[in-house]
Amino acid sequence: FENDLIKKYFDENNEPGFAYAYENPGINKIQQCVGRVIRSQNERGAALLIDTRYGRSPYKDLFRGYWSNFDIVENEKDIKISLEKFWKGFEA
């Protein structure tokens, strides 16, 4: 209900209501969750965003530049390959 009110307010003021009410808060929650995985420079972790919307605008545009190194996968086998490649990058 609250998000619908926010959306309505911004839409009525010729602003992107859906972005203010849903997209931006959703991206903030994703960043907070990843922050719980990776809490220091010495820790490593992977975040899997499992939804096609994260690979396209406007969602993709909302991520910071350091989130630009990602793989788009379409099945379980591709996930495994991508994660193995990710973790291999940390081997000494």
pLDDT tens-digit readout, 65-85: 767 778 888 899 999 999 999
Q: What span, in angstroms and rounded, lies between the C-alpha atoms of 23 and 29?
A: 10
Q: Highest mean pLDDT range out of 6-10, 36-40, 52-56?
A: 6-10
Please say whether the dihedral angle defined by the alpha carbons of residues 32, 38, 41 and 46, taken in this order, is positive or negative: negative
Q: In this structure, what is the dihedral angle of CA atoms 2, 3, 9, 10, given to the nearest 10 degrees? A: 160
Please say whether the dihedral angle defined by the alpha carbons of residues 67, 21, 39 and 74, taken in this order, is positive or negative: negative
Q: What span, in angstroms and rounded, lies between the C-alpha atoms of 73 and 83?
A: 10
pTM for the full predicted model = 0.67
pLDDT digit string, tens, across residues 21-45: 998 898 889 888 888 888 888 888 8
Q: Does the structure show a pLDDT above 90 at 5?
A: yes
pLDDT at 41: 82
Q: What span, in angstroms and rounded, lies between the C-alpha atoms of 28 and 15?
A: 19
